[in-house]
Amino acid sequence: MSSTVKDLLGDVKRKFNAKELSALAAYFRTVMFETLYKSQTGHWGGAASSAELTTALYFNRLKIDPKNPQWEERDRLILSKGHASVNLYTVLAHRGFFPTEELETFRRLDSRLQGHPSMNSTSGVDMSTGALGHGLSIGVGMALAARLKGQKFWTYVISGEGCLNEGQSWEAMMSAAKYKPEGLVLMVDYNKVQLDGTEDEIMPMGCLASKLTSFGWHVAPTAYNGHDTASILDSFAWMDSDDVWPKAVIYDTVKGKGISFTENKSAWHGAVIDDDSYAKGIVELNADLAKKEAVL
């Protein structure tokens, strides 16, 4: 671990700035890649895609307490694209929800770190996901519960286009538009690559922002860069800029981000990381980390 990132991780309670978040995300990518390589199972492509989004949420935005993971007033995060579990686990461990050493048990027998997130197994996981398309409906329920109970927590749902392929997501869109629950935010990790091929080949989304708007959502006027932490912080500022609900933000992202030969490749959705790919990939990830630490 670089001493700089190590310093940051020694003080995880504070809000990190864009450069710090960028360095943290770069470091988390190295941990994720190594975890997947050691496990010889799991999903690199989608985890690399959401690395900055989850880092920015957990290290700048979410109202949470790792010492009290069931705190009733905490903000909720639903990773509807549950196959990116290694991303969520890596961020949760470094945020203090469980020991980072436990990441080595990912997907092993008797581990708390199930293949896809499991809320009753892992501290900090607010909802089990894996079967795609559930997250937004569940988020609507959580946000409505906050309203009924007079609580102020926010509910963030991270979906990929795989989730949006599922019809249930659009049922959820309609119901959210009907009830307009305060604090509900859909964050689309829009990397445009699915398991079997590109979005255009598998299921074209058309103009996603227009679709969300026509379904009655308050959609951010611009797509943000989901790998540029400054851009992500701008999107947070937009979320805070008015009281219109439900809100949706589209983030342009890259599947397999961070390694030249995995970027935008559907084969890297869930490919096992072989020795050669690990050796080459980790060099690229470490170089990126060094570059981002250098500008801190």
Partner 1 sequence: MSIAMRDAFGKKLVELGVTHPNLVVLDADVSSSTKSALFGKAYPERFFNVGVAEANMVDIAAGMATAGLRPVVNAFAIFLALKATDQIRNTICYNNLPVIIAGAYGGLSDSFDGASHQAITDIAIMRALPNMQVIVPSDSFQAEQALEYALTQQGPVYIRLNRNAMPDLPRAAAISTVKVTEGSDVTIAANGITASFAAEAAELLKKEGIKAEVFSVPMVKPFGIEAIVESVAKTGRLLTVEEHVLAGGFASAVSEVFMKRGISCRFDAIGIEDTFTESGPYIPLLAKYGISAENIAARAMALSK
| 88 touching partner 1, by CB under 8 A | no
In the complex, what is the shortest distance from the CB of residue 215 to partner 1, in angstroms, rounded to a whole number? 13
Nearer to partner 1 (CB atom), residue 77 or residue 259: 77
In the complex, what is the shortest distance from the CB of residue 229 to partner 1, in angstroms, rounded to a whole number? 29
| 175 touching partner 1, by CB under 8 A | yes
Dihedral, CA of residue 214, residue 217, residue 221 and residue 227, to nearest 10: -120
In the complex, what is the shortest distance from the CB of residue 141 to partner 1, in angstroms, rounded to a whole number? 2
In the complex, what is the shortest distance from the CB of residue 65 to partner 1, in angstroms, rounded to a whole number? 16
| 244 touching partner 1, by CB under 8 A | no
| 100 touching partner 1, by CB under 8 A | no
* Structural contact between residues 233 and 59, judged by C-beta atoms closer than 8 angstroms: no
Q: Indicate which single residue of 103, 158, 172, 187 sits in contact with partner 1 (rule: CB under 8 A).
A: 172
Binding residue count for partner 1, defined by CB under 8 A? 32
x/- mask, partner 1, residues 116-145, rule CB under 8 A, reads --xxx-----xxx-xx--x--xxxxxxxxx
| 163 touching partner 1, by CB under 8 A | no
**Burial letters 117-135, b for 16+ CB under 10 A, else e:** bbeeebbbbbbbbbebbbb
| 146 touching partner 1, by CB under 8 A | yes
In the complex, what is the shortest distance from the CB of residue 74 to partner 1, in angstroms, rounded to a whole number? 10
Binding interface with partner 1 (CB under 8 A):
72, 76, 118-120, 126-128, 130-131, 134, 137-146, 148-149, 151, 155, 168, 171-172, 174-175, 178-179
